[in-house]
C-alpha cells in the first residue's frame, strides 16, 4: 500500500519509522512518503496561511500550496487515490473504516493546521481524488498530524503481513462490534490477585464461552451504545441471557434497554 502525507511539520510523522509500521516500511509492505507543504510555496517566507475572509480569529491555509502538493501526488499514478482530510467536521474514524481503507492501493492524507484549509481546495481535490474528511473524534486537535499517525497505524496494521500473527487481529476490540475481553499473563497469582480459574484449566470451549461473556459484560458496562447497535441475529442463547442480566432485551428485532420495574426478573 502506498501512503502519502502532506504536512507543514513532516518531522511529526517520524513516529512512522518506529515499531511495526516502521518495520513494514522497511520490508516494503507500506510505502509511506511524507511531503513538506512548504516545498510548494514560492515566496521568501514559504507562506502557507493567510487571514480569513469575513473576519474572525485564526488563520486559514492558502489554496495554492495545497493545489500544487495534491496535484503533484495525484499526477504520479494512473488511478484516482483516496484523499483523507483529517477534520473534526469529518466522518468519525472507526475500526470498520480502517478495515475498508486497508484494502486500498493508495491513500493520501492532507494535514490541516490553523483554522483549517481553504474550502475551495476540497473542490479542486475532487477533480483528482475521492475526497473524504475524517475525524478522530469529537474534540479539536492543533493539527492533522496526530490524527494521521493514529489512522495510519490503525489502517497499516490491518494490511496483510504487517502484524506477524494475523490471529491477534481477529478478537480485538471493535472487530466484532464488542470490546475485547480482559487478558492476563503469568504469574497466575500476583499480590493476592488471581487469574480467573477458567483460563487455567485448558478447556478451550469453556474459555471461549467465558471470554464471550466477559466481552458482552464489559461492553454493556462501558459502551452500551455498541450493545444497542448489535444485530440480534448474531447472538446465541448464552449471549441473550448475558445481555438480559446486563440490562438489555430484544424487541422488534432490536436490542433495547430493559425497562426497570415490573418486568425486572
Nearest approach, Cβ of 159 to ligand SAM (angstroms)?
21
Can you tell me which residue has the cell 484494502?
Answer: 103
Q: SS3 for 59?
A: coil
Decide whether 66 or 248 has the Cβ nearer to ligand SAM. 66
Nearest approach, Cβ of 39 to ligand SAM (angstroms)?
19
Beta strands in the chain (DSSP E): 2-7, 31-36, 49-50, 60-61, 82-92, 106-110, 130-135, 189-190, 193-194, 248-251, 254-257
Nearest approach, Cβ of 92 to ligand SAM (angstroms)?
9
In the chain, DSSP finds a helix count (H) and a strand count (E) of 8, 11
Can you tell me which residue has the cell 466477559?
Answer: 214
**Phi, psi (degrees; rounded to nearest 5) at 261:** 120, -135
Decide whether 74 or 110 has the Cβ nearer to ligand SAM. 110
Per-residue contact track with ligand SAM, 65 to 104, x per CB under 6 A? Answer: ---------------------xxxx---------------
CB-closest chain residue to ligand SAM = 112
DSSP 114: T
Decide whether 121 or 216 has the Cβ nearer to ligand SAM. 121
Nearest approach, Cβ of 36 to ligand SAM (angstroms)?
16
CA distance 238 to 215: 12
By CB under 6 A, the residues from 109 to 168 that bind ligand SAM are: 111-113, 115-116, 135-137, 139-144, 147
13-42 b/e (C-beta count within 10 Å ≥ 16 → b): beebeeeebeebbeeebbebebbbbbebbe
Per-residue contact track with ligand SAM, 32 to 61, x per CB under 6 A? Answer: ------------------------------
If binding is defined by CB under 6 A, does position 203 make contact with ligand SAM? no
Decide whether 56 or 261 has the Cβ nearer to ligand SAM. 56
**Phi, psi (degrees; rounded to nearest 5) at 108:** -125, 135
Binding site for ligand SAM (CB under 6 A): 86-89, 111-113, 115-116, 135-137, 139-144, 147
Amino acid at each position: 500500500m502506498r501512503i502519502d502525507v502532506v504536512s507543514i511539520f513532516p518531522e511529526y510523522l517520524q513516529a512512522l519509522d518506529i515499531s511495526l509500521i516502521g518495520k513494514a516500511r522497511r520490508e516494503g509492505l507500506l510505502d509511506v512518503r511524507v511531503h513538506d507543504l512548504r516545498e510548494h510555496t514560492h515566496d521568501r517566507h514559504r507562506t502557507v496561511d493567510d487571514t480569513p475572509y469575513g473576519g474572525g480569529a485564526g488563520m486559514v491555509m492558502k489554496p495554492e500550496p495545497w493545489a500544487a502538493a495534491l496535484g503533484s501526488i495525484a499526477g504520479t499514478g494512473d488511478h484516482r487515490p483516496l484523499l483523507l482530510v483529517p477534520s473534526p467536521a469529518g466522518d468519525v474514524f472507526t475500526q470498520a473504516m480502517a478495515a475498508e481503507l486497508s484494502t486500498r492501493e493508495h491513500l493520501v492524507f492532507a494535514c490541516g493546521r490553523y483554522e483549517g484549509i481553504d474550502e475551495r481546495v476540497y473542490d479542486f481535490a475532487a477533480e483528482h481524488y475521492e475526497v473524504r474528511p475524517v475525524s478522530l473524534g469529537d474534540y479539536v486537535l492543533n493539527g492533522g498530524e496526530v490524527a494521521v499517525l493514529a489512522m495510519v497505524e490503525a489502517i497499516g496494521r490491518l494490511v496483510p503481513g504487517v502484524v506477524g500473527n494475523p490471529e491477534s487481529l481477529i478478537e480485538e476490540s471493535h472487530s466484532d462490534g464488542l470490546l475485547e475481553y480482559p487478558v492476563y499473563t503469568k504469574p497466575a497469582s500476583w499480590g493476592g490477585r488471581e487469574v480467573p480459574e477458567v483460563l487455567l484449566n485448558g478447556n478451550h470451549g469453556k474459555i471461549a464461552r467465558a471470554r464471550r461473556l466477559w466481552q458482552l459484560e464489559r461492553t454493556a458496562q462501558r459502551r452500551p451504545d455498541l450493545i444497542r447497535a448489535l444485530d440480534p441475529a448474531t447472538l446465541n442463547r448464552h449471549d441473550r441471557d448475558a445481555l438480559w442480566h446486563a440490562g438489555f432485551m430484544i424487541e422488534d428485532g432490536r436490542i433495547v434497554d430493559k425497562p426497570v420495574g415490573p418486568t425486572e426478573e
